[in-house]
A and B are shown apart, each in its own frame.
Chain A
Amino acid sequence: SQQGEEDPQALSIQEGENATMNCSYKTSINNLQWYRQNSGRGLVHLILIRSNEREKHSGRLRVTLDTSKKSSSLLITASRAADTASYFCATANAGGTSYGKLTFGQGTILTVHP
């Protein structure tokens, strides 16, 4: 079963606008990660936020984590056409012998129009 549920499934915006994607999960996590996948390509790691962190920035990316609500959001500011891709959240479960296995959400398809 999927750990992460992403919302919205698809997002269409104009260049220069901000894009916000949300991810909810079910069990306790060690960290949550966001990946990007361009059409026909493999996934590329964007950013990781640990369970004891609430917000993290990387360039035009801002990630928040609310462990009480078991949710995270990814904000891409000043979007560009090159940001067009699918975005996935992935959770690394806490404890046990999980070895930090990642469980992926279904993804948000972002389209940025020039």
Chain B
Amino acid sequence: NAGVTQTPKFQVLKTGQSMTLQCAQDMNHEYMSWYRQDPGMGLRLIHYSVGAGITDQGEVPNGYNVSRSTTEDFPLRLLSAAPSQTSVYFCASRRMFGSSYNEQFFGPGTRLTVL
């Protein structure tokens, strides 16, 4: 199993540009989520999904869109990039049910810089 994969690893954008961060998992996990990590702030939840076709907002959703058309994929879209979105983005997934359903598996991250 590849686990949780993210592309790209690094990205530089100009203010106002749009892009999509890709995330995929091959563990058949129902729950997928996106976090951003900023220095001294820990990880903050952007959006999450509990299954295909179901998404909801997390703690810091403004400026980001998500969709979940398949169990495997959960892309994160930046509509109009701003310098405040410079961060490291992590995708994570986990099972929704079962004894270990809360253990989250994280991707390697995407380091995004917005100029």
Q: Across the interface, which residues of B come within 8 angstroms of A88, CB to CB?
A: 42-43
Q: Which residues of chain B from 1 to 25 have any CB-CB distance to chain A below 8 Å in the complex? A: 4
A41, A42, A43, A100: the one within 8 Å of B102 (CB): A100
- Among the listed A30, A41, A48, A101, which residue makes an inter-chain contact with B45, where contact means beta carbons less than 8 Å apart? A101
What residues of chain B lie closer than 8 Å to A30, measured between beta carbons?
A: 102
A contact residues, total (Cβ < 8 Å):
26
Beyond A30-B102, A102-B45, 14 extra complex contacts between A and B, CB < 8 Å: A1-B59, A4-B42, A33-B102, A35-B104, A43-B43, A43-B92, A44-B106, A45-B103, A45-B105, A88-B42, A101-B58, A104-B43, A105-B42, A106-B40
Q: What are 18 A-B contacts defined by CB distance under 8 Å? A: A2-B41, A30-B102, A33-B104, A41-B109, A42-B106, A42-B108, A43-B104, A90-B43, A99-B31, A100-B96, A100-B101, A101-B33, A101-B48, A103-B45, A103-B59, A104-B35, A106-B41, A107-B42
